[in-house]
Amino acid sequence: MPCQSKFTAVWFACLALVGCFGGVMPEAPRPAVASRPSQRQASDVRIEWGRVQSATGCALDYAWYRPDSAKPGDLVVLAHGFLRDKTRLSGLARALAETGISVVTVDFCNTRPWRGNHARNGFDLIAVANRLEARRLVYAGFSAGGLAALVAARNDPRTLGVLTLDLVDAQDLGRLMVREFDRPVIGLFGEPAPCNADNNGLATLAAARRARVERIVGASHCDFESPTDWLCRALCESDRAGERQRRAAILARSVTAIRALMAE
């Protein structure tokens, strides 16, 4: 797919330069033992880091945002985009947690520059939800992470609904997942561009039984990350004018959409 191809080319170039992400600050030190997660308290939101093993054997690191007022068993699972990481949705995670919703962000471990493994990523999201003993779930994701969220939602009977952020489909996997899916799907979309495969996710949601599309006028693919970084901007953002306002609007709409889905 176009977005994946662009990221792949840059990824290999970065490897030659000792890695694109070497200078990016991690969200927190990753725990060495999954059964002893590390914790940090910030206002009334506790953040807990842990690790779950994928069925393929690799480690899925997660950050669990746990507000004191969260309803036990309720959980939002956030999925990052292709070759990204969970820090790129930390802003949305915190915004949701500050409204009293428990949220987890996950680092995919089965994605490769040459292969997205989107279906596997979806089942990995379910594995994290199982570890956290979720009973009522909303899956949400950015770009290819939205595709993984659809896979997870379609295969998890606890799902209340799905939020996709500038969804990118691959080989019609998303369209396959939404057929016969009877839960609501909300999709926020920016302007068509190579990095969102010219809005190919719109066709995916058009095949869903209960879909709602919201367009964010002028939004680039990067506007749906919170925060984004120089790499996404270099690949996917030709004009940064108004990005703060657009990102704030996307964050607010995302929180509203997820709260509505949790009320289903």
Would you state the pLDDT for residue 2? 45
Give the C-alpha separation, 242 to 258, whole Å. Answer: 24
Give the C-alpha separation, 149 to 183, whole Å. Answer: 13
Would you state the pLDDT for residue 43? 54
R_g over Cα of the chain? 17
Would you state the pLDDT for residue 77? 98
Identify the residue with better confidence: 125 or 113: 125
What residues does each domain of the chain span?
2-20+47-262
Tell me the pLDDT tens digit for each residue of 125-151: 999 999 999 999 999 999 999 999 999
Would you state the pLDDT for residue 30? 38
Residues 221 and 232 sit within 8 Å (Cβ to Cβ): yes
**For residue 28, is pLDDT > 90?**
no
Would you state the pLDDT for residue 44? 87
Would you state the pLDDT for residue 224? 96
Would you state the pLDDT for residue 13? 37
- Mean pLDDT along residues 40-58: 85
Would you state the pLDDT for residue 264? 82
**For residue 34, is pLDDT > 70?**
no
Cβ atoms within 10 Å of 35's Cβ, excluding its own: 7
Would you state the pLDDT for residue 222? 94
pLDDT class of 116 with cuts at 50, 70, 90: confident
Residues in the chain: 264
Pairing of strands 103-106, 211-215: unpaired
**For residue 33, is pLDDT > 80?**
no
Give the C-alpha separation, 261 to 264, whole Å. Answer: 5
Would you state the pLDDT for residue 114? 86
Assigned superfamily of 2-20+47-262? Alpha/Beta hydrolase fold, catalytic domain (3.40.50.1820)
Give the C-alpha separation, 121 to 139, whole Å. Answer: 12
**For residue 231, is pLDDT > 70?**
yes
Element (H, E) at 53: strand 45-53
**For residue 23, is pLDDT > 50?**
no
**For residue 254, is pLDDT > 60?**
yes
Pairing of strands 185-189, 159-165: parallel
Q: For the stretch 141-177, what's the b/e string if a residue is b when 16 or more beta carbons lie within 10 angstroms of its beta carbon?
A: bbbbbbbbbbbbbbebebbbbbbbbbbbbbeebbbbb
Would you state the pLDDT for residue 32? 33
Residues 6+ apart with CB under 8 A from 144: 3, 4, 81, 82, 116, 118, 121, 168, 170
Would you state the pLDDT for residue 124? 98
* High-pLDDT (> 90) share of the chain, %: 75
